Structure 1
Amino acid sequence: MTFSSAIASFAVVAGMLTIMPGLDTALVLRSAITLGRRRAFATALGILCGVLVWGVAAAIGAAAVLKASHLLYDALRVAGAGYLAWLGIGMLRRTLKERGRSVSEDAAGGARATTAEATWARSWSRGLGTSLLNPKNGVFYMAMLPQFIPSGAPHLLMGVVLATVHDLEGLVWFSALIFGTQLVRRWLNRGSVQQVIDAITGSVLVGFGIKLALADK
């Protein structure tokens, strides 16, 4: 396998993984709808930074240790499950608080909630934390990277290159989602719609957390 063929083959596999509906897509969509384009890109950038970290970790063998050690895997799995549940429950609680308010109070409350969340660093760290605390990312890279590293190629360099390819595909996909969402954001920005979005996204996050907590290695 040549360097170019390895990158092309990995790009196909990573591209299919990127467009599959999942937690990352849900987080970016929710940020685009409720917080706006800039915060959505911050969330996406955090996720992509986490992917790069996992790629480097797999290349230098850290993910191999994670895969081999059931204790380390379980510790990261529980931490990730707790983090996802915390994010999801926070969204559900905010939805319940807003439900009983009048239309005008609801709009003001939604604006306050959005303002409280609308910091670039917070959106970025939310995306990064979600990516890093998902052990499935580490297992994926540990399983995939060795198959796409040509004989004699430096592992660390290939890990960075392949993770970067994955990140570029993710950036294209997230950009399409974010710009597409902006076309209908005026309707999506209504307080009642945002409550539904938070309720759905919160439920998805809690569901992913429970699934992760109960998942076997």
Structure 2
Amino acid sequence: MEQFLAVAVAHFLALLIPGVDFFLIARTATASGRRNAGGICVGIACANGILIAAAFSGLSLISTPAVLRVIQAAGGAFLVWIGIAFFRAEVSVELTDQPRAGRIGWAKSLGLGLASGLLNPKNVLFYVSLAAALSDAGPVSLMLYGAWMVTIVLAWDLLVAVALGSRHALAKLSRVLPWLTKAAGGFLAVLGLGMILTLVTEPIR
């Protein structure tokens, strides 16, 4: 029980730190509604499940320096792409139930969420580190931990999507959303460039 509480607290605290997943959910919820943001959430949860299964099953490939460099490069490029898309987006809030032309569908949202989760180096490093710390746990315990974390990821992300996709939240965000979107886009693009520059400047091991 103590080990489970430690895992649950560490995972939830890591989940509270806003990152690309949070910005992607917030942007989709405010621009395309809660349903499409739900697709992002499901994709992110699936990606977390894949990474957890890989780390907890003892798949050491993802912890090798060469593979981590590839993941970091792909993640950096993904952040730059998402950041530019956010920065260039013309965002407006429409307090209407009518569908808006040009917004992404649920299937595409699912794909974006999956890519965001899989290409986020923070997720990879966190689960690899957690797996190392749980090396003495049995298979059943690891399965329970993994199921718990995927469930919490999905529940928390859906809560964010619902909160930011409500009419009340949209009304409050109507004035600041364009600036928030551009600020988030700039932040993500700079973060992605920083990841790529780190790979270029650090020696290959």
* TM bracket, shorter-chain basis: 0.7 to 0.9
1:66 aligns with 2:62: yes
Q: 1:89 to 1:5 in 2, by over 3 A?
A: same
1:174 aligns with 2:157: yes
Contact 2:83 2:184 in 1 (8 A): yes
1:86 aligns with 2:72: no
- Give, in whole Å, the separation in 2 of the partners of 1:107 and 1:137: 31
Secondary structure in structure 2 of the residue aligned to 1:116: coil
Give TM-score scaled by structure 2 length.
Answer: 0.80
Segment drifting more, 16-25 vs 197-206: 197-206
1:146 aligns with 2:132: yes
1:35 is aligned to 32
Identity of aligned pairs, percent?
A: 24
2:97 is aligned to none
Aligned AA (1:185): L
1:161 aligns with 2:158: no
Q: Once superposed, what is the RMSD of the aligned Cα atoms? A: 2.6
Secondary structure in structure 2 of the residue aligned to 1:117: coil
Q: How many residues align?
A: 193
Aligned AA (2:170): R
2:106 is aligned to 120
Residue 73 of structure 1: how far off its partner (Å) = 1.6
- Give, in whole Å, the separation in 2 of the partners of 1:17 and 1:84: 19
Secondary structure in structure 2 of the residue aligned to 1:184: helix
Aligned AA (2:116): T
Aligned AA (1:38): R
- Give, in whole Å, the separation in 2 of the partners of 1:116 and 1:204: 25
Contact 2:31 2:93 in 1 (8 A): no
- Give, in whole Å, the separation in 2 of the partners of 1:172 and 1:59: 22
Give TM-score scaled by structure 1 length.
Answer: 0.76
Secondary structure in structure 1 of the residue aligned to 2:18: coil
Query: Alpha-carbon deviations, 1:23-59, whole Å to 9, x = none?
Result: 2212111111111111111111111111110000102
Query: Alpha-carbon deviations, 1:99-141, whole Å to 9, x = none?
Result: xxxxxxx789xxxxx6323200111111110111123322211
Aligned AA (1:75): V
